[in-house]
Amino acid sequence: MNLLKQTVLYVSDNKFMHVVIKDTLKPYNIKVIDVYSGLEALQMLSELTPNLILSDIDMPGMTGIELCRTLRESKEYSNIPFVIYSGSENDEDIERAYTSGAKGYIIKKYHKEVLAEKIIHYIR
């Protein structure tokens, strides 16, 4: 797969994590679009269709779970793979993510190489 044309929409209110994700995916030529809330993600989707949405759970206004559920209910966006990227290892959070329609759940403790492999796996 030519990853050069792949785009990840990253949704998180943590600006440092945006730097981490961009730095992690840069060697793979994956473009990362930054948004800082679920509502901002919904607005951005009217302008582009990413190959993957990577979202934190806990954000003000609209959580990642709520964003995922909203997108799964939409005919227009339901086919975009959605992955939760969270520091929580809580079984309830993981179950809520999958119940909301997430394709995957990545815990923030992984090294960059493993994180990149997981993200690439979900893009494919």
One digit per residue, the tens of pLDDT, for the chain of length 124 reads 455 589 999 999 999 999 999 999 999 999 999 999 999 999 999 999 999 999 999 998 999 999 999 999 999 999 999 999 999 999 999 999 999 999 999 999 888 888 999 999 999 8
Q: Say which DSSP state 27 is in.
A: G
Looking at the structure of the chain, the number of domains it has is: 1
Q: Which domain holds residue 42?
A: 3-123
Say how far apart CA 67 and CA 57 lie, in whole Å: 9
* Cβ contacts of 17 within 8 Å, gap of 6 or more: 10, 56, 85, 108
pTM of the model: 0.93
Q: Say which DSSP state 29 is in.
A: T
CATH code of 22's domain: 3.40.50.2300
Q: Say which DSSP state 91 is in.
A: H
* Cβ contacts of 93 within 8 Å, gap of 6 or more: 57, 84, 86
